[in-house]
Amino acid sequence: MWIQFGLLVLFSLFNSVSARLGSAPFLSGGNLVKRDSNPYGVIRGVNLGGWLLTEEWITPSLYTDDAADEWHLCEELGKKKCLSSLESHWKSFFTRDDFEDIKAAGLNSVRIPIGYWAVDVLETEPYVSGQYPYLIQAVNWASELGLSVLIDLHGAPGSQNGQDNSGLIGNTSFYSNTSNIDRTLNVLKNFTEEFTQDIYGDTVIGIELLNEPRLSDTFTMANLKDFYSEASEVIRGVNGNINITMHDAFWGPQYWANYNPLPNTTEASTGNYTIDTHQYYAFEPLNNLPHDIILEKVCNISKILKLTNQGILPTIVGEWSLETGHSPNSTSSSLQNKNDNSQEKRTWFRLFFESQLAAYQPNSNDQPSIGWYYWTWKTDYDIDTWSYRRGLAQGYIPSDVSNSSTLAFPILDNGCVDSTFNYTAPRNPGSKGSRHSPDWILGIFVFCLSLISFAI
Ligand SMILES: *[C@@H]1O[C@H](CO)[C@@H](O)[C@H](O)[C@H]1NC(C)=O
Ligand SMILES: *[C@@H]1O[C@H](CO)[C@@H](O)[C@H](O)[C@H]1NC(C)=O
Ligand SMILES: *[C@@H]1O[C@H](CO)[C@@H](O)[C@H](O)[C@H]1NC(C)=O
Ligand SMILES: *[C@@H]1O[C@H](CO)[C@@H](O)[C@H](O)[C@H]1NC(C)=O
Ligand SMILES: *[C@@H]1O[C@H](CO)[C@@H](O)[C@H](O)[C@H]1NC(C)=O
Ligand SMILES: *[C@@H]1O[C@H](CO)[C@@H](O)[C@H](O)[C@H]1NC(C)=O
Ligand SMILES: *[C@@H]1O[C@H](CO)[C@@H](O)[C@H](O)[C@H]1NC(C)=O
Ligand SMILES: *[C@@H]1O[C@H](CO)[C@@H](O)[C@H](O)[C@H]1NC(C)=O
Ligand SMILES: *[C@@H]1O[C@H](CO)[C@@H](O)[C@H](O)[C@H]1NC(C)=O
Ligand SMILES: *[C@@H]1O[C@H](CO)[C@@H](O)[C@H](O)[C@H]1NC(C)=O
């Protein structure tokens, strides 16, 4: 009787101490559990970067010395050689096994970047097409495994940002030629017609109109909004339900509050528009920041994504990573350092990952936040700060991101992680993570047990 009572007391003590320390496995409720309650299902996804639209830094093995983007790669190889090189890449870089691994990691969605030339390429453009059957295959695999898909137009004719990720480094000529716009609208129409067919189920949950448009004097915000309106009209002309995802052009989700690309069309005026915002600490001017500033910024964006009643549209963080620039004491994405698996680095990665995880998903279902896609699932050399699967293998990304019990850090009431929590990554990469607390709690527990047995 006394022993039972004693054990009960001890067990409650144990639970309350673990609760204070955020040891979710022993709790039945609390913050860590609550954030899974969005009725739409929080999107937890990865990008399939560098696959159907290649980027040199993701697959350097595919690239020759002189080319830095897919346009120039194919220009150099010629269409015939480029097609055979890309065919073998499309066939092998992502297979069904990757989709199974993605599923097993607790992820439920993939964002698939693709260029316009998969649908429409001119003889005068060096690009080759042949990606489309792989896109269909990907949607079918996703469908079989219960993953959803966001199709993302990552490269538009003329380039919408002049960067390698658009396929063509240099000018941002997308908006300066109406033929570019018309061709883009046709590509978006094709995606909509194709993937809203019954044979795909409801696997494709959205179409992103244009990735990372870079605004300027010749491509203004007004121009972009005109394009978003035209594109929405084309898509809604085909389908009334599919989510239309609009990149925020780096202006932040608040700028787009109450935005409606089709204000004059009553039946489509209510919704299924989402905003995509990318959150990186890898690039100017946000690179090389001290870690505490980064964590504060992550918590700041978390608060915006959780603001209710301010007209912020449902918002996805469609790209984020663990890269923070190249300062000596932070991490490096350089290939020379690919074997640097220091414990200190993995400890920081885990904290940075979980901070962003907490920030980019909702903890109640009236918030604009609807989830995230990490950039990216893999790279040729599985760069530590960019490859999700490397993070999984080395344990600095939780093994099942849908299961809050696998997380290390407790969440504070403001929705951000408690970055003061004393977590250290295991000495060896890939072994199971450790919270320090359970060890000494267990110690106290055993000590008290021995006291009790002594007393009786
Ligand atoms: C960019 O556009 C300018 C003016 O249209 C042109 O002269 C230049 O060659 C273009 N640059 C590239 C890299 O295409
Ligand atoms: C616009 O782009 C098309 C190809 O998409 C090209 O044929 C045409 O010459 C371009 N027009 C101008 C004015 O650059
Ligand atoms: C979309 O474009 C692809 C590639 O050209 C083509 O195979 C497919 O049939 C098109 N789908 C629709 C619905 O037009
Ligand atoms: C949004 O899409 C859902 C299906 O995904 C549909 O039930 C709903 O009617 C759509 N809403 C609007 C406003 O089109
Ligand atoms: C909506 O209608 C107003 C008034 O006719 C017009 O000024 C505006 O350009 C229209 N907006 C769009 C996106 O078509
Ligand atoms: C689709 O859009 C609606 C309303 O804009 C949003 O609430 C929902 O979360 C979106 N679903 C997905 C899967 O993006
Ligand atoms: C976070 O937001 C607060 C309030 O807007 C601001 O004062 C602070 O400077 C922000 N922190 C960082 C690191 O940007
Ligand atoms: C890196 O760490 C060393 C040792 O802690 C320190 O002396 C140095 O100033 C740091 N460098 C930067 C750029 O933070
Ligand atoms: C969640 O993770 C915990 C701790 O690893 C494990 O015991 C539990 O079985 C997992 N739950 C599910 C539903 O996978
Ligand atoms: C964190 O835990 C480790 C291992 O138990 C311990 O050595 C270290 O002193 C703790 N640090 C703090 C700040 O409590």
Which is the catalytic residue, given 55, 70, 212, 323? 212
Residue-level pLDDT at 150: 97
Separation of CA 296 and ligand 7 centre (Å): 7
Contact assessment for residue 332 and residue 390, using Cβ atoms and an 8 Å cutoff = no
Decide: 264 in ligand 5 pocket, CB within 6 A. Answer: yes
Give the phi and the psi of residue 76 in degrees, each rounded to 5.
Answer: -75, -45
Delimit the domains of the chain by residue range: 39-407
List the residue whose alpha carbon is closest to atom 13 of ligand 9. Answer: 403
Query: Which CATH number applies to 39-407?
Result: 3.20.20.80
Separation of CA 189 and ligand 2 centre (Å): 21
List the residue whose alpha carbon is closest to atom 5 of ligand 10. Answer: 436
Contact assessment for residue 230 and residue 180, using Cβ atoms and an 8 Å cutoff = no
Look up 319 and say whether it is catalytic.
yes
Contact assessment for residue 277 and residue 327, using Cβ atoms and an 8 Å cutoff = no
Of all ligands present, the nearest one to the C-alpha of 179 is: 2
Separation of CA 43 and ligand 6 centre (Å): 10
Decide: 365 in ligand 9 pocket, CB within 6 A. Answer: no
List the residue whose alpha carbon is closest to atom 8 of ligand 4. Answer: 241
Separation of CA 329 and ligand 8 centre (Å): 6
Decide: 355 in ligand 4 pocket, CB within 6 A. Answer: no
Decide: 190 in ligand 3 pocket, CB within 6 A. Answer: yes
pLDDT, one tens digit for every residue, the chain (456 residues): 334 433 333 333 333 333 333 333 222 233 333 333 333 489 999 999 999 999 999 999 999 878 999 999 999 999 999 999 999 999 999 999 999 999 999 999 999 999 999 999 999 999 999 999 999 999 999 999 999 999 999 999 999 999 999 999 999 999 999 999 999 999 999 999 999 999 999 999 999 999 999 999 999 999 999 999 999 999 999 998 999 999 999 999 999 999 999 988 865 556 799 999 999 999 989 988 899 999 999 999 999 999 999 999 999 999 999 999 854 444 444 434 545 678 888 999 999 999 999 999 999 889 999 999 999 999 999 999 999 999 999 999 999 999 999 999 999 999 999 999 999 999 988 875 444 444 344 444 444 445 554 554
Separation of CA 337 and ligand 1 centre (Å): 36
Look up 212 and say whether it is catalytic.
yes
List the residue whose alpha carbon is closest to atom 1 of ligand 7. Answer: 300
Residue-level pLDDT at 432: 59
Residue-level pLDDT at 261: 95
pTM across the whole model: 0.86
Q: Which atom of ligand 1 is nearest the CA belonging to 171?
A: 1
Residue-level pLDDT at 325: 83
